[in-house]
Structure 1
Amino acid sequence: MFATQQRWAWMALFVAALGCSRGSGVDVSVSVNSNTTTASESTHAAEEVSRESKGVIGFSALTLTNPFFSIIADNLQEEAAKHGYEVLVDDANRDVKTQSEQIDTYITRGAAAIVINPCDRLSIGPAIKRANEAGIPVFTSDLQCVAEGAKITGHVGTDNFGGGKLAGEAMIEAVGETGGKVLVLHFEQAQSCVLRVEGFKEVIDAYNKERESGKIEIVAELDGGGLRDEGFKATSAAIQSDPDISGIFAINDPSALGAYAALEQAGKVGQVKIVAFDGQLDGKQAIKEGKIYADPIQFPDRMGQITIQNIVKYLNGEDFEQITLIPTELYRRADADKDPELK
């Protein structure tokens, strides 16, 4: 056992060298580009706010290389325009310092509100506090901030804990009665991913307690970064260290697709089942092609729309749900086969 622990500890360091608090509320709901890019084209360096505009809302995205966050950005802009506001979109590129500077710029611009996907659930706290001190409301979308003393006016995201439980159920289906060893591709900087993994583990633990054999063993949790290349590196290292891995839970589609590429390179396609999370178009296509077993799917369009609706209610002095959680739905190959969006 000690030798096994040593091997996984070494492997975690090796991957690093190469290189998501349970919410409460009603309905429930991770990805990057350069600092001056927007969902469509950067509006940050664009023209001044028109006289007809009621004001600007700043949005600092975790990363715009992930289409998930671009969808949030597009819907923030579209919904805000309906209410007379303009949204400035910036890509934090998963960097806390960059995101902090973007928040400071929104403060200087006198933004009516700020929306962020926190690059780190704790480290972004000081920048949020500066916005609090300036009297600018801060809203989080998809990813939560849990930094002490940082006031978040409202949050709209996924029921990530519930989604993680669905992922656990999918993994049980995927590996079958024989059970086996499972790798988790994590991204612990994001509170949403922390919740996904917690929900996943709860279902797996409950399943194992009812069985004498065919248990599912989580043998490693490695940082997949929420990205294809990092998911590839982590999976490559994992299957080299333990060739008997039979399942992978990835916290989003990009890292899952990276994991599949690693399996393909190692000649292990079909031997390891992948359960992901998101339901992006390329993730759904991968499910149709049998590369991914299933996804609890999220609704980033609704996240953007509801966030703006809540901001407008807040600015108008109206009541709104401070925490809105959007439930996920489990998406399997049968769903993909009848999905008109897919090839």
Structure 2
Amino acid sequence: MKSSVETKNKNKKDKTMIVRIAPVVGLALLFPLAAAAAPLAKECGPNKSYVIGFSQANFKEPYRAHVDHELQRLVKNYPQFKLVIADGQANDNTQVSQVENFLTQQVDILFVSAFEAAPLTPAVSAVYDKGIPVIELDRRTTGEKFTSFVSGDNRAIAHEAGLYAASLLPDGGDVAILEGLPSSSPAIERLEGFKAGISTNPKVKIIAVQPVDWMQDKAVEVFSAMLQAHPDIKLVYTSNDLAAAGAYIAVKQAGKLGQVKIIGTDGLPGPSGGIRAVAEGQWTATYVYPTGAAEALDLAKKILIDCASSVPRLVTVPTQRIDASNAKELYAKGE
């Protein structure tokens, strides 16, 4: 028979064991294993079909048409995808309505290039808030409610153009800038980037800056007036190839061919693109502004087909300078 002392010692050990075990059980209840991150898309997987709604700023600008063409060409590599492109018609109200329609139709993912950033932000944010992934192409809205932004680095591209322009004028001279649409993020970033690049040559003086809203006819009108007011302009930087084409017309009409260097931005292929203009000596250079089409579709694949729980917030696509050293070769290749 056990003594009372032995019994007390046994009870003490049992209580000690209980005290030691209890906290472990409590921790398990308080901190369960973390759940895996949810997919970005409500519906996803390789055995379904998906609709991509793309709200394009407009169909007028050649660059916009180039983006549309690239998307339509490359989407054929994804049998599960149906691409629907809406023309924003360079009108805020029209584009807002189209984004709202895509929301009503419950597209599986929204691609968007904003005509103007601020007016479109609430509509894009509403799509995002409904759990539909949003890929912004080229032009940002003002909010943070988007899944990923795919773009060339406008500021870096323009900075490169500014450095190149500075090197073309070692003895200095007057320079003009034809800005894009001032309320769009690319126009702002390209203006700032070019100014920063060309400022590396203190002999260069920027004597005129004016927006032409990306349009050729306005570029002709504005640059013609600039040439009259400042007849010693030696170089003009334009925010897109269409404006560069307008600048060339103004230079030709003023009888100044060969006297004014023209630098564009876009580097578009085809008979009416910037690559041909450089190849034929009309412009000094242009910089390729990538469409981001391949990158946007790859993101859509990851989100919709691969059920990704995260994708890069920013995807930057590199540029290339088109000048006399490579323009003819690239144009012959159809690039």
Q: Shorter-chain TM-score: what band? A: 0.7 to 0.9
Alignment partner, residue 151 of structure 2:
157
Alignment partner, residue 317 of structure 2:
326
Indicate whether 1:286 and 2:281 are aligned. no
TM-superposed CA distance for 1:74, in Å, is 3.0
- Structure 1 residue runs of 4+, over 3 Å off? 77-81
For 1:276-312, what per-residue CA distance to the aligned partner results, in whole angstroms no more than 9, with x for missing partners? 1111122111111211111121232xx1111121123
CA gap of 1:194–1:83, structure 2 versus 1, over 3 A, is farther
Indicate whether 1:311 and 2:300 are aligned. yes
TM-superposed CA distance for 1:126, in Å, is 1.6
TM-superposed CA distance for 1:121, in Å, is 2.1
Distance 1:306 1:342 in 2: 21
Distance 1:105 1:79 in 2: 25
Distance 1:220 1:140 in 2: 32
Greater CA drift, 275-284 or 70-79: 70-79
SS, match of residue 177 in structure 1: coil
Alignment partner, residue 174 of structure 2:
181
Identity of aligned residues (%): 27
Alignment partner, residue 115 of structure 1:
111
Count of residues in correspondence between the two structures:
281
Alignment partner, residue 296 of structure 1:
287
For 1:171-192, what per-residue CA distance to the aligned partner results, in whole angstroms no more than 9, with x for missing partners? 1233x22311111111222212
Indicate whether 1:195 and 2:183 are aligned. no
For 1:48-82, what per-residue CA distance to the aligned partner results, in whole angstroms no more than 9, with x for missing partners? xxxx9622111111222333222322333444441
Greater CA drift, 107-116 or 319-328: 319-328
Distance 1:228 1:341 in 2: 26
Residue identity opposite 2:70 in structure 1: N
Relative to the length of structure 1, the TM-score reads 0.77
Greater CA drift, 87-96 or 58-67: 58-67
Alignment partner, residue 249 of structure 1:
237
Q: Structure 1: where are the runs of 5+ without partners?
A: 1-51, 209-214
CA gap of 1:132–1:168, structure 2 versus 1, over 3 A, is same
Which of 208, 215, 226 is residue 220 of structure 1 equivalent to?
208
CA gap of 1:133–1:342, structure 2 versus 1, over 3 A, is closer
For 1:182-239, what per-residue CA distance to the aligned partner results, in whole angstroms no more than 9, with x for missing partners? 111112222122222222111222222xxxxxx1111122112112111111111211
TM-superposed CA distance for 1:138, in Å, is 1.7
Which of these two proteins has the greater Rg computed from alpha carbons? 2
TM-superposed CA distance for 1:123, in Å, is 2.1
Residue identity opposite 2:163 in structure 1: E
TM-superposed CA distance for 1:91, in Å, is 1.4
TM-superposed CA distance for 1:122, in Å, is 2.0
CA contact (8 A) 1:119 1:190 kept: yes
TM-superposed CA distance for 1:83, in Å, is 5.0
Residue identity opposite 2:327 in structure 1: A
SS, match of residue 333 in structure 1: coil
Distance 1:306 1:230 in 2: 32
Distance 1:317 1:56 in 2: 17
CA contact (8 A) 1:61 1:116 kept: yes
TM-superposed CA distance for 1:90, in Å, is 1.4
Alignment partner, residue 64 of structure 1:
59
CA contact (8 A) 1:285 1:342 kept: no
C-alpha RMSD of the superposition: 2.0
Q: Structure 2: where are the runs of 5+ without partners?
A: 1-46
SS, match of residue 124 in structure 1: helix
Distance 1:320 1:305 in 2: 15
Larger RCO, structures 1/2 (Cα 8 Å, 6+ apart):
1
User: Counterparts in 2 of 1:230-249, with a 5 A limit?
Assistant: 230-249=218-237
Residue identity opposite 1:261 in structure 2: I
Distance 2:72 2:275 in 1: 25
CA gap of 1:342–1:115, structure 2 versus 1, over 3 A, is closer
Distance 1:74 1:164 in 2: 25
User: Counterparts in 2 of 1:202-217, with a 5 A limit?
Assistant: 202-208=196-202, 215-217=203-205
Residue identity opposite 2:224 in structure 1: S
SS, match of residue 283 in structure 2: coil
